[in-house]
Amino acid sequence: MKAVVVIILSLLTAAQGLGQNNALEKQAPKKYIKDAQGNKHQVVDFEESNIEGRIKLPSGFYIHSRRRAKTKRLIQLRSNFRDQVELTAPRGLITSPH
């Protein structure tokens, strides 16, 4: 019986912790903006979030603090070929260029 009570208490504590994490996430409000091309981008505002941390030099950052630099996430993949479409049917050629 004691063991059952301990398990229930542990689960309740874990659930509370999870709730707190969610609350922390909510502190960084997300909003959506559109750029000049009309593409939708998600913007997360961290201004009001309480983020603690220490500054480290790039070498230390990469060699000691982090197992792997996640550069793959930064690599841009082609999302369209609009620049090429423009060149196959050029505009502004007939009307006098300004």
Partner 1 sequence: MHFLVALLSFLSLQAFALTPNEVWTRIAKSQRVNDLPEEIYKALSFSGPSNQDEASYLTALAILHSNDKILRYVAYPYLAKASSKWPGIVETKESKVAWAKVNRAFGRKTLLDDLSLTLIASLYERSQLDGPDFQFYFGHYYFDSGKFAKALEILPKVPTNSHQYRRAQFFSALAALQERRQIDAEEFLQSVVSLNRTREEARARVSASAVQRLRELAVLNLARLYYEQKRFDESVTSYRTLTQDSYFFYESLNEQAWAFFMLGYPNRDLGALYSATSPFFSHQYNPEAYYLTALIETALCQGSEAEIDLRRFVRHYRGEGDVLREFMKNAPQGKDALVQFAQLLDPGQTAKLGPRTLETLRSNDYLVEGAKALNLLKEQKKRLKTNRFPSGQVYITEAHDDMTRLLTLNLGNYVKKQLDTMARTSQSTISEARLLYADILTEKREKISGQETDFEDKVLMGDEKAFTDSKVPSARAWTEDKSEFWLDELGYHVTTYKSECGADQ
Chain contacts with partner 1 (rule: CB under 8 A): 38, 57-59, 62-63, 67-69, 71-72, 74-98
- Tokens 């060699």 correspond to 63
* Whole-angstrom Cα Rg for the chain: 25
Nearer to partner 1, 19 or 60 (CB): 60
Q: How far is the CB of 74 from partner 1 (least distance, A)?
A: 5
In terms of DSSP H, where are the helices of 1-91?
A: 2-26, 58-60, 82-88
Token digits of residue 48: 């009001």
Q: How far is the CB of 30 from partner 1 (least distance, A)?
A: 23
Q: How far is the CB of 1 from partner 1 (least distance, A)?
A: 45
